[in-house]
Amino acid sequence: MAASVVREVRYRRVPPEGGWGLLVGVGMAMMFVVTLGSLPSFGLMFGDFLTELGEETSAIALITSCFFSALSFAGLFTNTLMKKTSCRTVGLIGAVSYIVGSMMTIFVRSTNELLISFAVFQGAGFGLMIPVSYTTFNAYFVEKRVVMMSVAQTLIGLGTMFYPIFIQRSMDAFGFRGCMAVLAAVNSHTLVAMLVMHPVRWHMRRVPLDAASSGEYGPVPTATTT
């Protein structure tokens, strides 16, 4: 009787190219819509409020400049934070900072308060979430990265296009502080967006090592997201 030959099949873990990665893409698009949408609409949101304070032109320039400064400084420290804690945790810290700043804008009474709430808290929070979103997204997609990024950018473009209309209707319906409360609720979705940024190792696929080596599943990078 001939001896049967048992062939051992070895596997390798590769990025999912979909699955939970689709939620990561939606989360990234959601985050950018609610954060980028407020920037071109800043004058629409706070123009009348700053006019009452007599500081419209100078205050808008100062606050937006400080916003981008806080965003840049936060981005510089993101890599250091990722070495000390997980990528997802850094994103959650950024989301909490952004939401706190959004809630503070409901009660602002002066330019200085708006500077702290919008420029510092929201700017820093946005700066932390940007690298987290891109890092996680790139870890989930290799072959389909360009296609999925195109879809995400399309969603972001559509969302930011309609954002000023949404703000104007909220202003007309609820007034300045009511609109700020609505936007704070909308901005709280950044927390949901960061919660779906799971480490890619939680959702890796197993494929036969021969198939992975032959290029059937595309290049197999080493996932570094934690």
Task: Please report whether residue 76 resides in a domain.
Answer: yes
Query: The pTM is what?
Result: 0.82
Task: Please report whether residue 3 resides in a domain.
Answer: no
Task: Please report whether residue 225 resides in a domain.
Answer: no
CA distance 192 to 131: 16
CA distance 142 to 138: 7
What pLDDT score was predicted for residue 1? 44
Task: Please report whether residue 87 resides in a domain.
Answer: yes
pLDDT in tens, the chain (226 residues): 445 555 566 777 777 777 888 899 999 999 999 999 888 888 888 888 888 887 767 788 888 889 999 998 888 888 888 888 888 999 999 999 999 999 999 999 888 999 999 999 999 999 999 999 999 998 888 888 888 899 999 999 998 889 989 999 999 999 889 999 999 999 999 999 999 998 888 877 777 776 545 454 455 444 444 4
What pLDDT score was predicted for residue 212? 47
Q: CATH no. for residue 55?
A: 1.20.1250.20
What pLDDT score was predicted for residue 4? 54
Q: Count of domains in the chain? A: 1
Task: Please report whether residue 61 resides in a domain.
Answer: yes
Residue corresponding to tokens 């049967």:
4
CA distance 169 to 155: 21
Task: Please report whether residue 222 resides in a domain.
Answer: no
Question: Do 165 and 153 touch, CB atoms closer than 8 A?
Answer: no
Domain that holds residue 32: 16-198
What pLDDT score was predicted for residue 177? 92
DSSP class of 224: -
Task: Please report whether residue 212 resides in a domain.
Answer: no
Task: Please report whether residue 36 resides in a domain.
Answer: yes
What pLDDT score was predicted for residue 122? 94
